[in-house]
Amino acid sequence: MTGIARFSLVALDCQRPVELAKFYAAVTGWEIDGSPDDDDGWVQLVSPHGATIAFQLAPGHHPPAWPSDDQPQQLHLDFDVDDLDAGEQAVLELGAKKAEQQPGGESFRVYLDPAGHPFCLVHEA
């Protein structure tokens, strides 16, 4: 089947785009596109894989309440890791918080980024 478009990025609303871009740059190892000091409300990462992550200024952004239908997550990001414990330690040091509810058993763990967006570290054995 031929698609009509190619996926290029996912944009996360947040109150501090540069701060969140730096967090995800550290998680992925990707560079910030342009100067992180040039904050015009839109910052994105440069991915060697094509599709990337962008961060968009939303002054009234309220983080989702995960898990809850009152203020749903709407989306989350998954990142594959070789070692869940090492990955957890690294993202917590960057400012993530481990979510109280952990439905993944041994295969994945749920975290909240500094702006409150849920994301998962995934290890497939």
Domains and CATH numbers, the chain: 1-59 (3.30.720.120), 62-125 (3.10.180.10)
pLDDT at residue 75 tops 90: no
Handedness of CA 78, 96, 105, 66 (dihedral sign): negative
120: nearest Cα among 112, 107, 109: 109
pLDDT of residue 7: 80
Q: Considering the entire predicted model, what is its pTM?
A: 0.82
pLDDT of residue 98: 96
pLDDT at residue 22 tops 90: yes
Query: Who has greater pLDDT, 17 or 105?
Result: 17
Q: How far apart are CA 77 and CA 100, in angstroms?
A: 17
pLDDT of residue 73: 66
Confidence of residue 76 (pLDDT cuts 50, 70, 90): confident
pLDDT of residue 8: 87
